[in-house]
Amino acid sequence: MKEIDARRLLCPMPVIRLQEAACQMPPGEEIKMICTDPGVMSDIPAWCKVHGHRVVQAEETHGEYHLVVRLQ
């Protein structure tokens, strides 16, 4: 699983990082995003929805937001 450290990045930068990685990777692969901007909890699922990808995990731990996206 590819991991992207998007700490300190404000939306929409985490989404842009995810998008850049997603277009280099085949369907079925997973990307883990580690973020600090709470906006990712709505932006990443919204971006996944319009591109047909799936958020398989989304949780807040110690002020960080961890999301795992499975590419479709």
Partner 1 sequence: MKKQPKAVSLISGGLDSMLATKLILDQGVHVEGINFFTGFCVEGHTHAIRQKDKDKKKRNNALWVAEQLGIKLHIIDVVEPYKEVLINPKHGYGAHLNPCLDCKVFMVRQAYEWIHKHDFDFIITGEVVGQRPMSQRKQIMPVVARESGAETLLVRPLSAKNLPVTKPEAEGWIDREKLHGISGRTRKPQIALAQQYGIDDFAQPAGGCCFLTDRSYSKKLGDLWGHRGHKDYELDDIMLLKVGRHLRPKANFKMIIGREEGENNFMEGYKREFTHMKTVSHAGPLALVDGTLEAGDAQLAARILARFSQGKEEKRVDVVLHHKDTAAEGKVISVEPMREQDVSKDWYV
Any idea which residues carry the catalytic annotation? 11
Question: Binding partner 1 by CB under 8 A: which of 43, 58, 66, 70?
Answer: 43
Q: CA–CA separation, 13 vs 2, rounded Å?
A: 17
> Would you count residue 50 as binding partner 1 (CB under 8 A)?
yes
Question: Binding partner 1 by CB under 8 A: which of 21, 37, 66, 70?
Answer: 37
Joined tokens for residue 25: 């990777």
For residues 66 and 32, the answer to whether their CB atoms sit within 8 Å is yes
> Would you count residue 47 as binding partner 1 (CB under 8 A)?
yes
> Would you count residue 27 as binding partner 1 (CB under 8 A)?
no
Q: How far is the CB of 13 from partner 1 (least distance, A)?
A: 7
Q: CA–CA separation, 15 vs 2, rounded Å?
A: 15
